[in-house]
């Protein structure tokens, strides 16, 4: 599943600056509307992360849980001067005539066109959470192709996903709760309960196999026993991004979920817990991870810190 992250600029009707159209009726905490004339409209997909803003502030973050489309007639305002195709149309509050185009023409009323269009509605109410710790400048710095006039812009996925992980608080269910019990036996029971669920994440597994069809630890190429392991525990579809995944032999997957081995985030060297003495596993101690895709560094750091604290280890370089 090739997930991406986007910024959605929500502008209230009263805050419109340019009047080429009459705007869209959004609810910044629940849904965002746009149409097929908006750049990037084809790229936005269900499961993508969205950071919602107004002109000056970052408002919140969520994940698109539904995406629908409906044909409609779009009302477009145009300069009435023949062959004039301005970039902007401005409605003035006090000066007369009321209208002015960016090419300098002034007029009392625009030419109105009805154009067939396709309106999209991205729903994200289910997981929406407000943000007050990120500024517009922070967002811009993570927008590789930033354009001040664009309503929908792609942002760095790993950055957005880390924010989502730190802010979002989801309603737990039996299958996605991350209770991390202190008792190791209880933790084993919880992991075994989740094995059936994790094997069912076919799209995530297929994506990892397409990167390198072998176990990231052992190099095993028997695809039938390779599983898609999450570095950061699975809670929703945003965690199925390839950067949060490792393809592991089924026994290695279980050991990883039990924190019986971990990966140094800086060197990508594998380390096993002290109680793992079987030569079948210790022969991989100190070896490098077999991966070709980019891994979420922040997720590796969290796992590594938990591992070193759990076993009171001095971090290896």
Mean pLDDT, range 50-77, rounded to an integer? 90
Instruction: Please tell me the predicted confidence (pLDDT) of residue 264.
Output: 94
Q: What is the pLDDT of residues 100-132, one digit of tens each?
A: 888 999 998 888 888 899 999 999 998 899 988
Together in a domain, 140 and 46: yes
Take residue 216 and report the two structure tokens written for it: 């990231």
Domain shared by 142 and 14, yes or no:
yes
33, 128: one domain? yes
What is the C-alpha to C-alpha distance for residues 247 and 249, in angstroms, rounded to an integer? 7
Q: What is the pLDDT of residue 311?
A: 81
Query: What is the extent of the structural domain holding 126?
Result: 5-69+119-167
User: Mean of the pLDDT values across residues 55-63?
Assistant: 90
Partnered with residue 226 across adjacent β-strands are 249
Q: How far apart are CA 268 and CA 266, in angstroms?
A: 6
CA distances to 39, 211, 317 from 61, rounded to whole Å, are 21, 29, 36
Residues across the chain: 317
pTM: 0.50
Checking if the pLDDT of 246 tops 90, the result is yes
Answer for the pair 211, 246: CB distance below 8 angstroms, yes or no. no
What would the two tokens of residue 274 be?
């002290």
Q: State the pLDDT at residue 17.
A: 45
pLDDT of residue 224: 84
Percent of all residues in the chain with a pLDDT value above 70, rounded to a whole number = 80
List pLDDT tens digits, range 36-45.
989 999 999 9
pLDDT of 199 strictly over 90? no
**Whether pLDDT at 189 is above 80:** no
> Does any domain span residue 148?
yes
- The verdict on 142 and 201 lying in the same domain is no
**pLDDT recorded at residue 235:** 54
Q: What is the pLDDT of residues 298-317, one digit of tens each?
A: 889 999 998 998 887 654 44
Angstrom distances, CA of residue 119 to CA of 35, 42, 61, 76: 4, 12, 22, 14
Any idea what the CATH number is for the domain that residue 63 is in?
A: 3.10.590
Mean residue pLDDT of the chain comes to 82
All residues at 6 or more sequence positions from 28 whose CB lies less than 8 Å from its CB, including other chains: 10, 52, 54, 59, 60
């Amino acid at each position: 599943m090739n997930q991406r992250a986007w910024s959605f600029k929500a502008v209230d009707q009263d805050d419109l600056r340019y009047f080429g159209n009459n705007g869209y009726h959004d609810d910044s905490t629940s849904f965002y509307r746009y149409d097929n004339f908006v750049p990037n409209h084809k790229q936005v997909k269900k499961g993508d992360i969205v950071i919602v803003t107004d002109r000056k502030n970052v408002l919140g973050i969520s994940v698109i849980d539904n995406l629908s489309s409906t044909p409609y007639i779009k009302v477009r305002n145009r300069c009435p001067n023949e062959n004039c195709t301005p970039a902007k149309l401005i409605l003035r509050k006090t000066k007369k005539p009321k209208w002015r185009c960016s090419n300098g023409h002034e007029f009392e009323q625009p030419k109105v066109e009805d154009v067939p269009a396709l309106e999209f509605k991205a729903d994200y109410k289910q997981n929406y959470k407000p943000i007050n710790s990120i500024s517009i400048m922070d967002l811009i710095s993570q927008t590789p192709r930033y354009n001040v006039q664009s309503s929908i812009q792609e942002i760095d996925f790993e950055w957005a996903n880390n924010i989502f992980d730190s802010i979002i608080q989801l309603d737990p269910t039996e299958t996605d709760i991350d209770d991390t019990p202190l008792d190791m036996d209880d933790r084993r029971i919880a992991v075994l309960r989740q094995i059936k669920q994790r094997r069912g994440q076919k799209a995530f597994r297929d994506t990892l196999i397409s990167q390198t069809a072998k176990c990231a630890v052992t190099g095993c190429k028997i695809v039938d026993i390779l599983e898609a392991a999450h570095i950061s525990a699975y809670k929703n579809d945003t965690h199925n991004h390839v950067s949060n995944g490792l393809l592991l032999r089924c026994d290695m997957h279980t050991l990883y979920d039990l924190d019986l081995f971990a990966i140094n985030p800086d060197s990508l060297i594998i380390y096993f817990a002290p109680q793992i003495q079987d030569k079948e596993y210790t022969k991989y101690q100190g070896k490098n991870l077999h991966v070709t895709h980019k891994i979420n560094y922040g997720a590796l750091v969290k796992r590594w810190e938990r591992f070193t604290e759990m076993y009171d280890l001095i971090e290896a370089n």
